[in-house]
Chain A
Amino acid sequence: MENLETYCPNTWCPGCGNFGVLAAAKKAVNSLLGQGVKKENIVLVSDIGCSSKSTDYLDLNSFDSLHGRSIATALGVALANPELKVIVFIGDGGALNEGIAHLIHAAKRNSNIVVLMHNNRLFALTTGQFTAVSPKGLKGKSTPEGAPEEPINPLELMLDSKASFIARAYSSKIDHLASLIEKAIKHEGFSFIEILQPCVSFFNNLQFYNEKVYEVEDEERTKEEARKLIEEWNYNGEGRIPLGLLYSEKRETYESLINKSSKGKEPDIKKCLQIHL
């Protein structure tokens, strides 16, 4: 197994859920390398925030993009070269606050990228403010009396946005997460994995998750069946939390539908100019 590490010192807080995600990502990548995927064909794209430091820690091709925009950058990478396996590391703030339009549209168009949404359910690197998935009433420095908004359910959003691979994982269950990441990379089309991840410094819900999560079988489901599982937990405090591949379908990818250019072909300017005569 390649360690895939860089010399970059890791700056996450001790006990951070991100360590689990990083370990699982390495495991999945190593498994793929063992199956003949070329290391140079793997491209990581990261956003901004704690989760997005992942690219600094992995000795793989990477583009560390802007806050909320990593999904759009990843789409450009995937469209440029269909051989590449493109994996996005993004937090809940980037995916669901700053860049929610890109997430919805990438799912809708079935862009062939994997989105790993590290969900610590608040902005951590800016020292703890509520995001779109924070429970209502979460106290932070910007909302000392509690977050005034209802959380959205990102998996429900993905189902309605026509994502073709929807999964939920937990950063403490590394092997389970690694197997989901591997499946997502192999999936042709848009894959979304929500990774529940405690933030030890600002929202340590490790105990809560340990009590609530359970794994579901990886089986074919209708949208209705998937929706039932997705709606079990309301992101406030109620319900059990199913983990696993909750929904998947086969659909043509955006890249295969629109890519007309082919390598090395010269543009036919003369032919075009004829039309203008």
Chain B
Amino acid sequence: MNTKDFSVLIGGAAGQGSRKAGLIIAKLFNNLGYGVLIYDDYQSLIKGGHSFSLIRVSEKEPLSHSQEIDFLLALDQRTIEEHEKDLSKEGIVVFNKDRIEACEGTGLDIETIVKECKGIPIMVNIALIGGFAKITGIEWNVLEQVLRKEIDREIEKNLEIARKAFDGAQSIIEIKKLKNNPRPLLTGNEAVALGGAKAGLETYYAYPMTPATGILHYLAERGHDLNVCVSQLENEIAVINAAIGSAYAGKRSMVGTSGGGFALMTEALSMAVQAETPVVIVESQRPGPASGVATYQAQGDLLFSLFAGHGDIVKFVVAPGDANEAFYWTGKAMNLAWKYQTPAIVLIDKELSESTYDFSEEEIKKEEGKMWDGKGEYKRYLDSEDGISPMAFPGAKGVVKATSYEHDEFGITTEDAEAVKKMQEKRMRKFELMKEEAEKMRSVNVFGNLKSKTTIVCFGSVKGAARETAERLDLKMVQPLVLEPFPEKQVKKALEDSERIICVENNASGQLAKLLSCFGIKVDQKVLKYDGRPFFREELEEQIKKII
């Protein structure tokens, strides 16, 4: 077994605590100095069914998930049945002997241990971790330290259970400690929340919807530390309208949802453009159409998010590809929204929202928007040269009139032909500036062999698997981070020497390829995956190999 780069899968029924156990296992290796990446797979149910966490552990930063499993940790029989086929040649199975009968590998009587220690059934996951730590040669004090940090209830009981399982198991393999320091492990949702807060987020509104709910939970828990007020309202329509109200009153506001909720928000999205009110919308995609597959992965809302909103609209759509980028680009989206007084969409997906990444903070600061100097009479929609009118907020000097109707410079409704044309043109000047801004930012990532004539193009969370594949096959990989306004010059520059362009997307119709074609970029081949699962590195490598 390659002990420098391996995968651990822990699975069980919902309610058996496999997700928490997965995080603890990741933290164990993180504490030993390894890079980790967790994929969480769960169904839309609360008890039963089958859930698992897949943890890639590597000396280098792991970019994507591996299909092949080196350690299979089974809390129930179904985990064996579902995943045995993916076990590597020298793979090790560690299983719940009290529940699983005939099985090759190391059986641990973890349910018996929990009973003997008078624990509750969910503590079986801690017993399994205890045994696994011993099997992989992890020292007890490392395990104890991680457990003390991760478990807030009945820690002594949990430690007793973990110790008993630890002592009862035999070391099989040694995963060496590295010199690296542990890094924070964050889900994409958590990174979005922190990035928003860093750029001055003060009010977050949401209605629960998978896979964006994690942002709501995290900000609700950390609101005091992050200075964010969190409000759960009656539906997504209320959510975005309230966020726009708060922004009008001067507070940086954000909302989070998935495709269905975003569909409900689109009328107000258009209002934010007309009223020139900044708002950040996090759209975490899941498979559609309609309710689709609630807890799984897709990138099918790209075109919808680009074209959402009635009327002549330009907005920002940014698509980070991992937790670091989610942090930076959510902060960036907030600053852009306030600079241009317009909506900005952070387009993510289940894979990014709920996977757990090694995190390193990329500097982002709150940047102030253009404010009124308080001189003369205030005009909310001053017909300025660049199309950006200075802001003022109620509570201070000046009468601030904002509106969803077409309006004059003061914000009074108008139907006059000249006035209507003039205000539309003011917004168009602003849209032009936004296009220039998209070209000024570092809107496109390029990885792999920069000289290769074959280029993989992708957006969002596909980044990891695509980058790893490109690096292994010596290809080029291009990832646009800003999708509207489309950074046409930067993308074309990145693709100028490419003779073969392959689009890799988590959707069925090749929406990024369609977007590229709008700018005259011809995509030669498409690799599309639309079964609700992210790309695994082996699978993508195989598919690309086949077509090049």
Contact = CB atoms under 8 A, between A and B. Distances in A.
Contacts of A65: 241, 244-245, 271, 404
A105 B186 contact: no
A83 B228 CA distance: 18
A72 B275 CA distance: 16
Contact of A84 (B197, B223, B244, B394): B394
Interface in A248-277: 258-262, 265-269, 271-274, 276-277
B241 A84 contact: no
Contact of B404 (A66, A77, A105): A66
Interface in B529-544: none
Of B190, B241, B411, chain A has the most CB atoms within 10 Å of the CB of B241
Contacts of B104: none
B516 interface: no
Interface residues of B, number: 66
Contact of A60 (B183, B230, B399): B399
B241 A69 contact: yes
A176 to B, nearest CB: 28
B230 A258 contact: yes
B139 to A, nearest CB: 18
A175 interface: no
Interface string B109-149: 00000000000000000000000000000000000000001
B251 interface: yes
A97 interface: no
B361 A76 contact: no
A219 interface: no
Of B201, B227, B242, B395, chain A has the most CB atoms within 10 Å of the CB of B242
A272 B361 CA distance: 12
Given A72-B238, A81-B395, A267 B203 contact: no
A191 interface: no
B228 A258 contact: no
Interface string B204-238: 01000000000000000011111111110111011
Interface string B270-286: 01000100000000000
B395 A83 contact: yes
A7 B410 CA distance: 10
A82 B353 CA distance: 33
A43 interface: yes
A276 B184 CA distance: 5
Given A65-B271, A267-B198, A72 B245 contact: yes
Interface of B: 30, 149, 182-186, 190, 194, 197-198, 201-203, 205, 222-231, 233-235, 237-239, 241-251, 253, 267-268, 271, 275, 359, 361, 393-405, 410-413
29 contacts: A40-B398, A41-B395, A45-B245, A64-B403, A65-B244, A65-B404, A72-B238, A72-B245, A73-B245, A75-B233, A75-B238, A76-B205, A79-B242, A80-B249, A81-B393, A101-B235, A102-B234, A104-B234, A105-B234, A258-B230, A261-B202, A261-B223, A261-B227, A266-B227, A267-B225, A272-B194, A273-B359, A273-B361, A277-B185
